[in-house]
Amino acid sequence: MSSIRIAMAQVNPTVGDLTGNALLVTEYYKRARERCAELLVFPELVITGYPPEDLLLKPAFIEDNLQILRELAGKLIGLTTVIGFIDKDERGIYNAAALIHDGSVVGVYHKMFLPNYGVFDEKRYFKAGTSPLNFILKGFTMGLGVCEDIWTPEGPAHLQAECGASVIININASPYHMKKAAMREEMLIERAAANDVTIVYNNMVGGQDELVFDGHGLIIDSDGAVLGRAPAFEEALLVHDLRVREKKRDQDKDGGCNTVRTIKLSPLKQERSEVSPCPVPAASIAALPGPCEEVYRALVLGTRDYGHKNRFSHAVIALSGGIDSAIVAVVAVEALGSENVTCVFLPSKYTSAESREDAVELANNLGVELLSLPIDDILGLYLKGLAPFFKGRGTDVTEENLQARIRGDIVMALSNKFGWLVLTTGNKSELSVGYATLYGDMAGGFSVIKDVPKTLVYEISEWINKSGGSAVIPRRIITKAPSAELKEDQRDDDTLPPYEELDAILRAYVEEDRDIREIQAMGYSEDLVKEVMAMVDKSEYKRRQAAPGIKITPRAFGRDRRMPITNRYKGWH
Amino acid sequence: MSSIRIAMAQVNPTVGDLTGNALLVTEYYKRARERCAELLVFPELVITGYPPEDLLLKPAFIEDNLQILRELAGKLIGLTTVIGFIDKDERGIYNAAALIHDGSVVGVYHKMFLPNYGVFDEKRYFKAGTSPLNFILKGFTMGLGVCEDIWTPEGPAHLQAECGASVIININASPYHMKKAAMREEMLIERAAANDVTIVYNNMVGGQDELVFDGHGLIIDSDGAVLGRAPAFEEALLVHDLRVREKKRDQDKDGGCNTVRTIKLSPLKQERSEVSPCPVPAASIAALPGPCEEVYRALVLGTRDYGHKNRFSHAVIALSGGIDSAIVAVVAVEALGSENVTCVFLPSKYTSAESREDAVELANNLGVELLSLPIDDILGLYLKGLAPFFKGRGTDVTEENLQARIRGDIVMALSNKFGWLVLTTGNKSELSVGYATLYGDMAGGFSVIKDVPKTLVYEISEWINKSGGSAVIPRRIITKAPSAELKEDQRDDDTLPPYEELDAILRAYVEEDRDIREIQAMGYSEDLVKEVMAMVDKSEYKRRQAAPGIKITPRAFGRDRRMPITNRYKGWH
């Protein structure tokens, strides 16, 4: 058995930053050369970042990406490189992988299976490729694929394997959700066994608006053994000496395989041994993080990248003394550094002494600045001005929303004055049922825990305290009953069912499209299920104006769930 | 030549209101029967409304729609009906047309061409049909099609015509944009000639979130003559006695045509003449509205339907004394009635006496209530509270935004207290370049002129005054220089290029994906073009949190233009 040294560059490109992404490629190229790699693999669409969305409709953007690829190719000498880019022909554009050998593009593969579900809109932009591609390097026959090509059992891998591929190189921009890494590993083990191939699966890493790419690149052999696993949520260069028994190509038997193009790469002029003595790479198999750590690190990476890629160095968060703003502050400090986070405490007469103490303690624990500004006087002046219009009407949710909006105004004023990114603190449970104020607590640039259900907020908070070795988040923040503190003695459970029940119903309804009978069968009363379904449906208008936030569940709000606002479907008769 | 009486029901269904939409079908069925129609045609997806978006992922929704179709079919006796619904088989779901003959579903056609561009996501949901369908009624051979099937020259119409169809029945949910009616007519004339058929093109009417369906149904013969044209922006039943020379089916010659299913319908038991004596329908050819009227009526219908379909009877608008809020108020009054519109005037020390006079005059002209509440005291209190944080910093856009946000808070408080729909007043030019305050003037439920460029706002305002026969919109509102009045002597053109230039550049950049060189070639300096492009790109985050509003251009913001927020592509080197 011969061997080939493969380097997977798990990198973090930025959408639209063609020049910056090209620099990233050359940086990892240099690192791969230092490690004597023979085959270097970059993620899907690494030149443009993923997803470029409607930038893909701009002809100049496509041309610029082609120009960058041409410029890069000439620099990638001395090894073979696989690199994601956008190709173009008279039929349209393609999500493509270039095969660059010693400074020249020697082949291009067009993604054949285009995802057009969930957050994906690839059929909006791309034509589907029709021609699988193998290449032969140092005697290894390898098939090239892009993302969905390997997710689909009907993908090109079986044709590629039939035509002699013993290795499938699959490049990805596969976004994170909880447990996705384990799902992916299972899927790849299945696919590797079914096609009797080793799969080299390289994923992008980094945050892009609502998506986080978790990296987690994998090399898996046909027996299901994990030969390499890149770390989660960080850039990495995974170097691995691959040893594979070459298969006989079926075409040797029957002359077939004309459905797969095969490119035979010439040996490199400069052999590995001539460059420099490189040690044999040690096995590189990163551990999988646990469930809470996984989500936490996704939130940190998503927040850091949203901030930095949009050129915000500093964030501001309104601390209420409650658990949602606490976890957001912890994430922000880890993402941006404590010196780059400012917290504000905006109490009203309904704010408890405990909330103030807890906010102060949290800010101290995190080492962040805490500004304070009571809102009662401003509220009073609004209510005085509105009194003539409100005559004869009782107090209702109007006065509560006004408090939230005053806080929103103050936080936005700080943002405007200092160029700070406002991180909003609402969780998925609240946003699902509309227990949030538009332009109030929903005001801000990025919504860190937008897709984290309240019950998971608690679990992660416990994990944060445990993993840190001390209660960064003051104990009482976790144990006290949650309250919006917008009127006297208010508690969330005055208005909402207990979060354990609410979150279970929401998962079934929002993420799994269960109908009313199925949800009742989980053990909930018809009235409760109807109430929750109706709350979700009628607050769609709020979600449409919500800040973007990090997807961590199989179905997030935003591009992932496209519901009409005008919608009279109730789901029962 | 024999004749057949066709009735096109141009109806306004509501997304998700399966029962209500079924009632609409039976109501138009009764009207068609009274007119002795033999063939009754409803729009695409009339059972569910269009677009149902992710409701389509709910299995219960699909089942409920099938149940409604079954119940309806039995009631539609004594004639033949074509009706849009969602079909289902083991492969998935289909955008479908049912052929119902005298109370039974006798055939189902699956849309073959699925639009997946612009506002359309049909490949997210539907499988494409593979089998064209003809039916023979009273000796006429007619082909069935759904929307995109006729927009594409490669659509099934040519196969249907080859197999003897002399008429193509095409059902639509074709959304409005400027000049679309004329485009559609041109396209249909081309298609009718190319296939030597008469086309019966029935479109939906009504507003659904950001879309307005304009109706404008057409009957066009193979010579391009318009035999019937339904009115724009309103429900209608267009009845027409169609006379067509039957063609010989090609299969009579060569036995072909097995690519097209053909259903031969039996004669009805009850003949037309037995029902009641019906007069022969007069030619019904509605005039096409002019360019300003067209947009105005789209805005009125879109606003009325967003309000009513979401069960708002009353709207509130902040009048500034400027032209944007003026036109929104005029539209709102036409859409909802003057008794259902409340205006508020929220002056600051920067508000001119002219603005006050103009706002009052406009409200008087429209006969709407005008509330007034100065915001200076509230602003003063915010600034006092923020002063310790802002120490050493000069005045900037922060103080301007705060004024806009105080106004937003007040308008939202009125909305919360009285259940009023807040109509926001920003135009497309402002929203394009970010000349608007998030949570301030952008706060509200529906953004009436969101897709109307400022220059068109002026044109429509002139048209409103002319068509009404008097200056509903006070003359000075149209003639004075536009200003946000957020600081001393402010004018829009302190910050923005003149609107004539800005709008031309915006159209090229936002709607047509022109690159910098192409836009410069239109006669603008490189600096100006770069400045506008950069303003557009960097305000994507604001648009993501904007209220929905009515699409009237070929490319609106919202679902129609999906740009990343995190995006470093500049479009120049």
Distance CA A557, CA A561 (A): 5
Averaged pLDDT for residues B177-188: 96
Residue A103 sits in a domain of what CATH number? 3.60.110.10
Last residue of a domain, one of A437, A463, A491: A491
Residue with tokens 């950069």: B534
Distance CA A115, CA A166 (A): 26
| Shortest CA gap B525–chain A (Å) | 19
More confident residue, B488 or B325: B325
**pLDDT tens digits, B49-66:** 999 999 999 999 999 999
* Sheet (strand B3-10) strand order: B104-110, B92-101, B80-89, B39-41, B3-10, B236-243
Q: Which of A16, A413, A515 faces B567 most closely, judged by CB atoms?
A: A16
Across chain A, mean pLDDT equals 95
Q: How many residues does chain B have?
A: 573
Same domain, B265 and B311: no
Distance CA A428, CA A327 (A): 14
Same domain, B172 and B311: no
User: CA gyration radius for chain B?
Assistant: 27
**pLDDT tens digits, B30-43:** 999 999 999 999 99
Distance CA B298, CA B553 (A): 11
Range of the domain at A153: 3-275
Domain-located, residue A564: no
Interface test with A, best of B567, B572, B573 (most A CBs within 10 A): B567
**pLDDT tens digits, A14-47:** 999 999 999 999 999 999 999 999 999 999 999 9
Residue with tokens 């002219």: B354
pLDDT tier, B2 (very low <50, low <70, confident <90, very high otherwise): confident
Domain-located, residue B118: yes
Q: Does the pLDDT value for residue A165 go beyond 80?
A: yes
Q: Does the pLDDT value for residue A275 go beyond 70?
A: no
**pLDDT tens digits, B392-414:** 999 999 999 999 999 999 999 99
* Dmax (CA) of chain B: 91
Tell me if A378 and B385 make a contact (CB, 8 A cut-off): yes
Same domain, A170 and A67: yes
Q: Does the pLDDT value for residue A347 go beyond 90?
A: yes
Say if A347 is an interface residue toward chain B (CB within 8 Å). Answer: no
Tell me if A5 sits within 8 A of A284, measured CB to CB. Answer: no
Tell me if B56 sits within 8 A of B62, measured CB to CB. Answer: yes
User: CA gyration radius for chain A?
Assistant: 27
Say if A104 is an interface residue toward chain B (CB within 8 Å). Answer: no
In A378-397, the residues whose Cβ lies within 8 Å of chain B are 378, 381-382, 385-386, 389-390, 393, 396-397
Domain-located, residue A538: no
**In B11-102, beta strands by DSSP E:** 39-41, 80-89, 92-101
ipTM of the complex: 0.96
Same domain, B265 and B331: no
Tell me if A381 and B386 make a contact (CB, 8 A cut-off): no
pLDDT tier, A267 (very low <50, low <70, confident <90, very high otherwise): confident
Residue A402 sits in a domain of what CATH number? 3.40.50.620
**pLDDT above 70: percentage of residues in chain A:** 97
Q: Does the pLDDT value for residue B370 go beyond 80?
A: yes
Which of helix, strand or coil describes residue A349? coil
List A447's β-bridge partners, or say none. Answer: A424, A549
Reading the block at residue B76, the tokens are 């539609």
Domain-located, residue A270: yes
Tell me if B100 sits within 8 A of B106, measured CB to CB. Answer: yes
* Sheet (strand A3-10) strand order: A104-110, A92-101, A80-89, A39-41, A3-10, A236-243
Domain-located, residue A470: yes
Q: Please confirm whether the linkage preceding A474 is cis (ω < 30° from 0).
A: no
Catalytic one of B44, B210, B334, B485: B44
SS3 assignment for B495-546: HCCCHHHHHHHHHHHHHCCCCHHHHHCCCCCHHHHHHHHHHHHHCHHHHHCC
Distance CA B27, CA B25 (A): 5
Q: Is B111 a catalytic residue?
A: yes
How many Cβ atoms sit within 10 Å of the Cβ of residue A214?
Answer: 28
In A145-184, the residues whose Cβ lies within 8 Å of chain B are none
Reading the block at residue A564, the tokens are 């009409």
**In B308-416, beta strands by DSSP E:** 315-319, 341-345, 369-372
Q: Does the pLDDT value for residue A272 go beyond 60?
A: no
pLDDT tier, B269 (very low <50, low <70, confident <90, very high otherwise): low
Reading the block at residue B51, the tokens are 């677009």
Whole-number pLDDT of residue A254: 47
Same domain, A301 and A412: yes
Averaged pLDDT for residues B499-513: 98
Distance CA B135, CA B39 (A): 12
Same domain, A319 and A408: yes
Tell me if A58 and B515 make a contact (CB, 8 A cut-off): yes
pLDDT tier, A297 (very low <50, low <70, confident <90, very high otherwise): very high
Distance CA B536, CA B512 (A): 14
**pLDDT tens digits, B205-260:** 999 999 999 999 999 999 999 999 999 999 999 999 999 876 665 555 445 688 89
Whole-number pLDDT of residue B250: 53
Chain A residues lying within 8 Å of B398, measured CB to CB = 413, 416-417
Tell me if B247 sits within 8 A of B13, measured CB to CB. Answer: no
pLDDT tier, B272 (very low <50, low <70, confident <90, very high otherwise): low
Domain-located, residue A547: no
Same domain, B334 and B219: no
Distance CA A126, CA B334 (A): 43
Averaged pLDDT for residues A338-353: 97
Distance CA A267, CA A269 (A): 6
Q: Is A44 a catalytic residue?
A: yes
Whole-number pLDDT of residue B248: 60
Same domain, B366 and B509: yes
Averaged pLDDT for residues A351-364: 97
List A41's β-bridge partners, or say none. Answer: A8, A82
**pLDDT tens digits, B416-434:** 999 999 999 999 999 999 9
How many Cβ atoms sit within 10 Å of the Cβ of residue B479?
Answer: 9
Tell me if B566 sits within 8 A of A15, measured CB to CB. Answer: yes
**pLDDT tens digits, A464-508:** 999 988 889 999 999 999 999 999 889 988 889 999 999 999 999
Domain-located, residue B432: yes
Reading the block at residue A104, the tokens are 């020249």
| Shortest CA gap B119–chain A (Å) | 10
Q: Which of A54, A306, A373 faces B563 most closely, judged by CB atoms?
A: A54
pLDDT tier, B469 (very low <50, low <70, confident <90, very high otherwise): confident
Last residue of a domain, one of A436, A469, A491: A491
Same domain, A17 and A82: yes
Amino acid making up residue B175:
P
Same domain, A397 and A343: yes
Reading the block at residue A421, the tokens are 């990114």
Strand B80-89 with B92-101, pairing: antiparallel
Q: Please confirm whether the linkage preceding A388 is cis (ω < 30° from 0).
A: no
Distance CA A479, CA A465 (A): 13
Among A242-246, A545-549, B350-354, the least confident range? A242-246
In A52-71, the residues whose Cβ lies within 8 Å of chain B are 52-55, 57-61, 64
Count the domains in chain A. 2
Distance CA B225, CA B205 (A): 23
Same domain, A264 and A295: no
Report chain A's terminal Cα–Cα distance, integer Å.
67
Q: For A36, left (φ over 0), alpha (ψ -120 to 50), or beta?
A: left
Same domain, B232 and B304: no
Whole-number pLDDT of residue B253: 44
**pLDDT above 90: percentage of residues in chain B:** 91
Whole-number pLDDT of residue A253: 44
Last residue of a domain, one of A275, A308, A326: A275
Q: Is A111 a catalytic residue?
A: yes
What's the angle, vertex CA A293, arms to CA A287 and CA A299, rounded to 5? 120
Chain B residues lying within 8 Å of A547, measured CB to CB = 544-545
Averaged pLDDT for residues A187-207: 97
